[in-house]
Amino acid sequence: MEDAYARSVTEVLDFFGVEPTKGLTDVQVAQHARDYGRNVLPEERRVPFLKLVLKQFDDLLVKILIVAAIVSFVLALINGETGLTAFLEPSVILMILAANATVGVITETNAEKALVELRAYQADVATVLRNGCFSIIPATELVPGDVVEISVGCKIPADMRMIEMLSNELRVDQAILTGESCSVEKELESAITTKAVYQDKTNILFSGTVVVCGRARAVVVGVGTNTAMGSIRDSMLQTEDEATPLKKKLDEFGTFLAKVIAGICVLVWIVNIGHFRDPSHGGFLQGAIHYFKIAVALAVAAIPEGLPAVVTTCLALGTKRMARLNAIVRSLPSVETLGCTTVICSDKTGTLTTNMMSVSKVCVVQSVNRGPLIDEYSVSGTTYAPQGTIFDSNGTPIDLPAQLPCLLHLAMCSALCNDSILQYNPDKGNYEKIGESTEVALRVLAEKVGLPGYDSMPSSLNMLSKHERASYCNHYWEDQLKKISVVEFTRDRKMMSVLCSRNQLQIMFLKGAPESIISRCTSVLCNEDGSTAPLTASTRAELELRLQSFAGKETLRCLAMALKMMPVGQQTLSYDDERDLTFIGLVGMLDPPREEVRNAMLSCMNAGIRVIVVTGDNKSTAESLYRKIGAFDDMVDFAGRSYTASEFEELPPLQQTMALQRMALFTRVEPSHKKMLVEALQHQNEVVAMTGDGVNDAPALKKADIGIAMGSGTAVAKSASDMVLADDNFATIVAAVAEGRAIYNNTKQFIRYMISSNIGEVVCIFVAAVLGIPDTLAPVQLLWVNLVTDGLPATAIGFNKQDSDVMKAKPRKVNEAVVTGWLFFRYMVIGAYVGLATIAGFIWWFLYSENGPKLPYSELMNFDSCSTRETYYPCSIFDDRHPSTVSMTVLVVVEMFNALNNLSENQSLLVIPPWSNLWLLGSIILTMLLHILILYVHPLSILFSVTPLSWSDWAAVLYLSFPVIIIDEVLKFFSRKSSSGVRLAFRFRRPDLLPKREVRDK
């Protein structure tokens, strides 16, 4: 029954055919079970493990690598290779792919846990009325129409409509569903609001929420998937995971790379058609096959086999750094997504605020005879910890607050007129509440005021253990003044009173709504000397002004306190006793903003990131918090920036689009609204981070580009998120964004490094084929260069230090290419030099080396016809391992120098020296040691078809390798000093060589 909130109690009972005094009959229960289903959230069919594994390989770049592995294995078999040599290259490639697939499977398996943990919020049992008798049954057996009795501490077992109040009031904590910072008072009357949100349905008890006060009966109107929890589950199921910006760019890069590789392979094969009939091949067909092998070898060289592994490694390094910042990353790709976040939709309660109600202001009457009439105090401390200072109106701390009569009696009233519990949890290391947040805040106030009579009181209390300190002062007052009688809070009185006794002294303490308490007061307690004076009209007016200031301007939740001396021997209280009261004071409390939030929000603004506060609370409460944060002092008027969910939905589509671009506050929301907001922002090509801690936040967390859950939040929110904040602190998000930007910059650097290196390998093979000289590098040598000499330095580039201005730049656009046109030109130049230097090393050995044959260049070009003509040198010279060893060493060394170029995109090595990244220096040294190892250790040198080099060979290698530093320094200089001129001079037809596409389908 979807509109039960708008129907009367009689209408709802008639709809289900149930009598409130007897409940359903067994026949009705069976019929309703068939009609409406069971009260469970059904388990979802899990994706089969094999399908999950295969999904990880559904990536173009990965498919290219698989093809490369297969082709390299087939070519090895065609060449007659067996054993380790044949399996080495494909095995290493497949190992890399297996490692990446493992990471992907683990990530997706974790994401499915959110739906499982959502069921943990269902109640286990329910007290139900059937056949005229109450019984306790499993909550899963409830059906619509069942009459259920609930009381304090009960978890609501299904969505239910209130039908009878069995106490003065009923309050429910539904923060996990709506995010409201305070418990909600429930009532029997029908709601007349159109398009009601959960907060408006004050006669509905929602599944999974908890009763914190009172007792009542209700009729079940929704079970299983037809509950509020069920709608959250359905919303999560309908949400598909979005690919991260980096993943999209790598996919585009893979598509671009595939086209380039295919084109070059075909070009190399066509260029060499004239050589197909060379005698050395043994025929046209054999020649065609030979050059096909070369083309495929070139394709293998062009594929950056280590790219997936290095990207994963760099992101993993980022997760470790972020963990030290209290940001626990659950999904590796989300590390990079943070770097391009443009909008942060922040939950208010628990993220921007402490989610701990605390007293911040106290107002008492100082004296009625001389000024000032009213005294105001402020209270520090924003958590449930009994630690804080009370300041006077001038901001001066008060050393012994309990010496002041009004503050002393406020502490007594707060401790005695109270049903909550404050305790220390050693497992979590913090103070926790049991009961109403407002009452716990009063207990904390009593602890901050302390006890009278001891000059060393503050320091004495600090010597107690945290468990003893939690409620030491409260327990003192409870021991000193024994409770005799209590009159509970009622909606019409709006107050609670308690009768206490001490040494033949009877005192009644009261707390409640200020208008109710003050109207019943005839006298006031003076803070100056503890005397009692009549409550005059002027004093009453002054108190009214302070109340308006507290509740209006500062949007504090206000309570007034009073006392009354009662006749000795009185044992009970009645409503008639609650008059002729003595006013003690007024307290204002709030869920305060975290102290560090202001600077964090200013950092977001400097970084071009917009923050939208999303909350289930009232509009005025949220606007007041926004002002208290202090980061938006320029925002005098909230017009056009603050909307309730209902107001936003009523706007025409065009105005909604405009409102999204200026929105700063989104209030009175329920789960569907949060998800709707994320989707709307994503349609405007925003990269959205959503924070949350409740069950209600889970669908939006899953839908957002990056979902951020609070460490103290629900398990459902954590499982649906990409990142968890261990300290629940908004400032941690900003630090994580800076880290994400730095990670992306480093990712770009090593991708460019690998591109330029692989271009060098392609140029090497291509030029060798065009010139008609012997194969410069063997496939196994290319594999060594790609995986070892590329992989180690590329990974170390991930340790480049974060730029000092990383949070001063605007977020990068999601469609920004990893490699732009000018950068691609730069790395083409570097890559071309790498390839030409490698070829030069090969030719140098044949033509000029002291240990070489010193052949004329024409002989080298005609090597394939050596066996058909007479030569003054043996043809076996072309099978010598020295020239390929020299060229391979040149390739390794030049790439090590090129790695140093990638310490920064545009900064010179004179500004950012090599030792700024010791990991990179270490990887270069290790790479060179490994290379020397395969040159000079006999079994390895045979495996990699290399041989030891002489000192003259090494000198040539260095001469050919070092110029890559000079070339890149020149290119960096042009990028820094005359970027516009360079772009004009080298402008491509498109500024982006990598293909672009729309980020999202409209």
- Strands 665-667 and 610-614, by their bridges, are parallel
CA-to-CA distance for 724 and 512, rounded, in angstroms? 39
Catalytic machinery residues: 347
Give the chain's radius of gyration (CA, Å). 38
CA-to-CA distance for 77 and 832, rounded, in angstroms? 32
CA-to-CA distance for 210 and 157, rounded, in angstroms? 10
Residues 6 or more apart in contact with residue 323 via CB below 8 angstroms: 329
CA-to-CA distance for 738 and 415, rounded, in angstroms? 46
How many angstroms separate the first and last alpha carbons of the chain? 35
CA-to-CA distance for 562 and 745, rounded, in angstroms? 62
- Asked whether the beta carbons of 812 and 339 are under 8 A apart, the reply is yes
DSSP 188: S
What phi and psi values does residue 631 have, to the nearest 5 degrees?
Answer: -85, -5
Residue 906, classed as helix, strand or coil, is coil
- Asked whether the beta carbons of 473 and 416 are under 8 A apart, the reply is no
CA-to-CA distance for 708 and 689, rounded, in angstroms? 7
Count how many residues are written for the chain: 1002
Residues 6 or more apart in contact with residue 341 via CB below 8 angstroms: 609, 687, 688, 689, 705, 706, 737, 740, 811
Residue 461, classed as helix, strand or coil, is helix
What phi and psi values does residue 522 have, to the nearest 5 degrees?
Answer: -120, -10
Amino acid type, 734: V
Q: Count CA atoms closer than 13 A to 400's CA, side-chain side.
A: 11
CA-to-CA distance for 583 and 531, rounded, in angstroms? 12
CA 754 to chain centre: 30
- Asked whether the beta carbons of 305 and 65 are under 8 A apart, the reply is yes
CA-to-CA distance for 115 and 43, rounded, in angstroms? 8
Residues 6 or more apart in contact with residue 183 via CB below 8 angstroms: 171, 172, 173, 174, 212, 213, 436, 437
Residue 794, classed as helix, strand or coil, is helix
CA-to-CA distance for 754 and 751, rounded, in angstroms? 5
